[in-house]
Structures are given as C-alpha cells and as structure tokens.
Amino acid sequence: MDSKICRRCNAEKPISDFYKHDRMSDGHLNICKPCVTTRVKKHRKENDSVRTYDTWRYQNHPHRKEKSIQRTQEYRKKHPDRYKAHTALSNAVRDGKIKRQPCEVCGDVKSHAHHEDYSKPFDVKWICALHHQRLHHSEDFDGQQPSTL
C-alpha cells in the first residue's frame, strides 16, 4: 500500500503524507499531515485552555525551558535590530520615560508593546498578550494590525 485517501480532504496521497498511528488497521492516521496541521492550528487558536496547559508543561519540564532559552538566544542573534528596539523600550519603561498603556483592543492593563517599525523603538501599540499573539498569528498579518483581533 503506497497511497491512502485522506478522509478530510478526500485526496489520494502517498502514505508518507500520513502520520503513523498504531491503532489504525494500516498503521497510519486517516487524515493527512496538512489537514492535521490545519485542524491543530484552528484548535489552538480557538481554545485558551491550550495555553494554560502549555504554561504548566513549560514550568514542569526543564528541557522545555532550556529549549526556550536557546530559541531566545538564536532570535536575538538573527534579529539584532528587534532586540535593540525591545531593550530600548524596556529601559524607557523602567526609567519612567514611557508609561505602559492598557490594551488598545480590550483595555487589559497587562499589555505588551507591539512594534510596527523596529527603527522607531518608542513608537508602539500597547496590546495584551492574547491580542498580541493573535496579531502575529493571524493569516492575513502583513505588518499592519488586522481589522479584527
């Protein structure tokens, strides 16, 4: 058996396009990898409980923390302009030169600074973590704030 039909998209695909699954008769899931990825992204976007679980998992598995630190270091090396803007803004907030504002969308006082242009480190939009995440993960994100967060 070299191919299989995905029950989600009904396309016939090579068996390598399906995840292995011991409980299936042929040893592979009935949904292809792209369809699974789409379904999982949608689920994560619609269910805030996933973030609660992710937080718990991060705090209780030291290797996840180490990987996070490693990713942060790689990000800083890859994007020094962004890191510089983040640091400059953090220092200005710490020194009282700039005051943190509530979320522009929901009014939550715990807000993040969103840079649209990293060459202007103090020109930011203040949005909460949830809306910041949605802003960066929206499919139509092109550097501008989508109409609906």
Residue 61 confidence (pLDDT) above 90: yes
Mean pLDDT, residues 38-64: 89
Give the pLDDT score at 134: 85
pTM score, whole prediction:
0.57
Give the pLDDT score at 148: 46
Give the pLDDT score at 82: 95
Mean pLDDT, all residues of the chain: 89
Q: In Å, what is the CA distance from 120 to each residue of 46, 88, 89, 95, 96?
A: 33, 10, 10, 18, 18
Topology (CATH level 3) of domain 1-46: Wheat Germ Agglutinin (Isolectin 2); domain 1 (3.30.60)
Strands 18-20 and 12-14 turn out to be unpaired
Residue 139 confidence (pLDDT) above 50: no
Residue 143 confidence (pLDDT) above 50: no
What is the torsion angle, in degrees rounded to the nearest 10, for the CA atoms of residue 149, residue 126, residue 112 and residue 84?
A: 120
Give the pLDDT score at 133: 85
SS (H, E, C) the chain: CCEEECCCCCCEEEHHHEEECCCCCCCEEEEEHHHHHHHHHHHHHHCCHHHHHHHHHHHHCHHHHHHHHHHHHHHHHHCHHHHHHHHHHHHHHHCCCCCCCCCCCCCCCCEEEEECCCCCCCCEEEEEHHHHHHHHHCCCCCCCCCCCC
Residue 130 confidence (pLDDT) above 90: no
Residue 145 confidence (pLDDT) above 80: no
Give the pLDDT score at 141: 43
